[in-house]
Chain A
Amino acid sequence: MAIELHPLEQFTIERVLPVRLHGLDVSYTNAALAMTAIVALIAALTIFGTRRAALVPGRVQSLAELSYEFVADMLQSTVGPQGLPFFPFIFSLFMFILFANLLGLIPYSFTVTGQIIVTFALAIVVFIGVTIVGFVKHGLHFLRFFVPEGVPALLLVILVPIEVLSYCIRPFTLSIRLFANMLAGHTMLGIFAGFAALIGALAIFPVAIDVMLLALELLVAVLQAYVFAILSCLYLNDAIHMH
């Protein structure tokens, strides 16, 4: 990679290992590489963090336990004890997004959560899963979720479609929120980095701005992972308790 002048260049998918299968392009790309790294890191953290479980935890163990407790608390406070069977899913979701966001902040790395298809895939999995949970828990009674109470029948004609629509929009808002935050932040970093490459000695100013932006991006990275996870919890809560 030469000097990166185009701020959007960082989002291009490149084939690391070209593979063609029955005419389909299933190459191993830089996005896949980043995701492999994310999963490997999370696995390493949780495996090494719990292997020698000491009563007074070391750094890695402490990190693993903190993330575990954080997600468990989140699930407990939003869904309650009925939500705990879904802990592995929410934990994986949170850790994956968190690591994707954080690893994306390393210069020259690839931000998978800056790809709409990745965030949308995550969101649609949550959406479909939550809907299935709702139907399994409540049967067809789950459809009453879309019928507001104490409303005249005439208004229901308008309100029920609105309810259904607002339910179906969830995966889109969920994915676009994460994607847009990542895209905007990284584009901004890229723009200032591009300035720095252009103006020679004055480059210190855009670089200083980038350093500050990086701090902001660190906050956004953690916050968005949290938001995604807690919204998944809240959707799960809706499906389980039908509020």
Chain B
Amino acid sequence: MSEEPPSDPLARLGERIDRARAERVPVAKSGGGPGLQQGLAAAWRIGIELVTAVAVSVGLGWALDRWLGTRPWAMVTLFFLGIAAGMLNVYRALTGTGGAVGWRRAADRAARPAPPDDEDC
């Protein structure tokens, strides 16, 4: 192709770019690096997710207790809810789409072939 006189260098460059683009394999989305990195990232994620969930909920419970004078009930309730929420977040992070907090999407992926009436939520 480079033999022919440069009729319009820009046009030829454009063509070459287009061809290169077409050849390029569509990159899989948001891929992680090799194993170790992904593992490290997941470990960080799980740890932070769990600890933060419990800490934030207990803090919230403590504040609610102070405000409403219901010591220690809000804190106890929220402690357990916080553990559940943290685990839920971890579960979703690892089974879902790499970080989405998607209840239905994760479920869809796991089992059902996405029934159409799911669409509205």
Contacts and interface: CB of A to CB of B under 8 A. Distances in A.
Nearest to A181: B44
Interface in B26-76: 27, 29-30, 37, 41, 44-45, 48-49, 52-53, 55-57
Contacts of A144: 121
Nearest to A161: B81
A242 B85 contact: no
Per DSSP, chain A at the interface is helix
Contacts of A168: 56
A188 B104 CA distance: 41
Nearest to A235: B101
Interface stretch (A18-26, A34-42, A169-177): A169-177
A213 interface: no
B119 to A, nearest CB: 10
A230 interface: yes
B101 A77 contact: no
Nearest to B88: A166
B57 A173 contact: no
A234 interface: yes
Per DSSP, chain B at the interface is helix
B89 A172 contact: no
B101 A167 contact: yes
A204 to B, nearest CB: 27
B89 A234 contact: no
A165 B64 CA distance: 14
B48 A177 contact: yes
A237 B39 CA distance: 25
Nearest to A74: B30
Interface in A215-230: 219, 223, 227, 230
Contacts of A148: 103
A148 B92 CA distance: 14
Interface in A194-243: 219, 223, 227, 230-231, 234-235, 237-238, 242-243
Given A78-B30, A234-B100, A243-B104, A169 B85 contact: yes
A166 B101 contact: yes
Interface in A54-90: 55-56, 73-74, 77-78
Contacts of A219: 37
A172 B52 CA distance: 7
16 contacts: A55-B13, A74-B30, A162-B81, A165-B81, A165-B82, A169-B86, A169-B89, A170-B101, A172-B56, A173-B48, A173-B49, A227-B41, A230-B99, A234-B100, A238-B101, A242-B121
Given A161-B81, A166-B86, A166-B88, 5 more contacts: A165-B57, A165-B84, A169-B52, A180-B44, A223-B41
